[in-house]
Structure 1
Amino acid sequence: MGCLDRCCTLTVQNFLKRWFLYSIIILCVGITITGIILFVLRLAFKPHVEASIEDARLTSFGTTEATTSSSFLEYSISVAISIHNPTWGFVKHTKPLVASIAFDDNSLLNVSVAGEGHRYRPSKKEVHFLQKSGKVLWDVLGRAALEDFKQQSKMGVFSVEVRLSGEITIVGLDNVVTRNKRNLGFSCPLSLQLPPPGHGVVLFHEVNCKPEPENIYF
């Protein structure tokens, strides 16, 4: 019986050794295949985001004296900029995301809404809020812009454009940043009204931004 027990023990030991060896081999193969898949995915998928304007408000948009080009266009605007990452990987800004508010193809202001290194989680959306006031000389905007302002004032609706520019890349699940970078450019045309007197509210419907990666405004 003692010899039989020793034979069984050796058989079990050999089985466990083979099982352990096979497990190590399978684990190494799995790690290698996972690494290859992640590498291929980083090369195959281009960094990509979608942009929209969830909300935009004009608190003020007027001129001190609309009869001369030496007066100012004064504005106060708030914008909620939504950035959606539809990919399976993290998207990272390799350059700041800069927003420009433009009227009649003239920039009123430029401001960074997301810094270099900012990341968007896979399949998630993030909203950046922008609220700015200021004034710009009509001498800078030009007479054509002043004439457009007069016409739009009569209609009560102002054509304002939000422009977005930047550069993004993909960050893999292994936290490795790829060299696959892409210019980011969007045009978001808006039609905005000033709020009515009292406590009136102007309704705003979400606007999808048009991708224009070839137009980098900054």
Structure 2
Amino acid sequence: MTLYVVKEECDFRYLGTSGELQFAVLLVAYGFICHAEVAVVHASLTRLALATSPATAFANLSLTLTVRNKNWAMSVRNTQAEPHEADYSFDDQRFKRVRLTDEGSTRPAGKTQANHLVSDADSAYVALGNAGVEFKEENKTGVFQVEVALSGEIRYEVHTSPKCKFLAICPLKLQLTPPGTPAVLFQKVKCKLAPPDKNCL
């Protein structure tokens, strides 16, 4: 029996007899974890402003974030302790947190879920850092680097793995488009997953 496994791509290829094939199918279905694929497929920033006294952020950001369960036999369940949440930050300072899923919600095997998030962050406290130097520089061009961090705790169903921490970082470069201005074409951004715990490989 020859079984080729490329976990990063969840690419499984098999050559062997029918009996070996049945074993291989079960092994691939339940013996390996394929980690999620996260991407931002659309994002729009219509407002981003900072006030210095007190340090306050004002932002209107909408985005569509997709999460794909690449396992074709195992669903993924969010734990009761930590549902999936998205943190928005600028210059390493968080200015908004949005909940994507409720505790205990399930992501079916092989499915992609799209989350449409529309956020208004008025009067959100931020620590400007360097007196807002980065904001002043990016405000000159109207292009802002905003980071979206998706985090939570999950459990792979029908698997012996423990609860697993989940973190995906999505660096976005957004053109400010105030209401009434032409929309800007957004290029899909694939998010980077943090290395999994050793028990969740």
Q: Structure 1 residue 102 and structure 2 residue 89: aligned?
A: yes
**Equivalent in the alignment of 1:72:** 56
Q: Which has the higher strand share?
A: 2
Counterparts of 1:86-125 in structure 2 under 5 Å? 86-88=70-72, 89-94=74-79, 95-125=82-112
Q: Which has the higher helix share?
A: 1
Displacement after TM superposition at 1:46 (Å):
2.6
- Paired amino acid for 1:128: N
Structure 1 residues 71, 168: closer, same or farther in 2, change over 3 A?
A: closer
- For the residue of structure 1 that corresponds to 2:180, the secondary structure is coil
Q: Which moved more, 1:147-156 or 1:178-187?
A: 178-187
Structure 1 residues 189, 80: closer, same or farther in 2, change over 3 A?
A: same
Identity of aligned residues (%): 35
Counterparts of 1:33-44 in structure 2 under 5 Å? 37=26, 42=30, 44=31
Q: Is the 8 A contact 1:186 1:213 kept in 2?
A: no
**Equivalent in the alignment of 1:165:** 151
**Equivalent in the alignment of 2:19:** none
Structure 1 residues 137, 52: closer, same or farther in 2, change over 3 A?
A: closer
**Equivalent in the alignment of 1:185:** 167
The CA RMSD measured in Å over matched residues stands at 2.6
| TM-score relative to the length of structure 2 | 0.74
- How many equivalent residue pairs? 171
- For the residue of structure 1 that corresponds to 2:100, the secondary structure is strand
**Equivalent in the alignment of 1:28:** none
**Equivalent in the alignment of 2:44:** 57
- For the residue of structure 2 that corresponds to 1:165, the secondary structure is strand
Deviations 1:110-143 (Å, cap 9, x if unpaired)? 22101222222222211111111123567x4234
Unaligned runs of at least 5 residues, structure 2: 1-21
2:66 counterpart (66, 82, 95): 82
Structure 1 residues 145, 85: closer, same or farther in 2, change over 3 A?
A: farther
Displacement after TM superposition at 1:213 (Å):
4.4
| TM-score relative to the length of structure 1 | 0.69
Displacement after TM superposition at 1:107 (Å):
0.7
- Paired amino acid for 1:81: L
Structure 1 residues 86, 145: closer, same or farther in 2, change over 3 A?
A: farther
- Paired amino acid for 2:115: H
Q: Is the 8 A contact 1:167 1:182 kept in 2?
A: yes
Structure 1 residues 199, 159: closer, same or farther in 2, change over 3 A?
A: closer
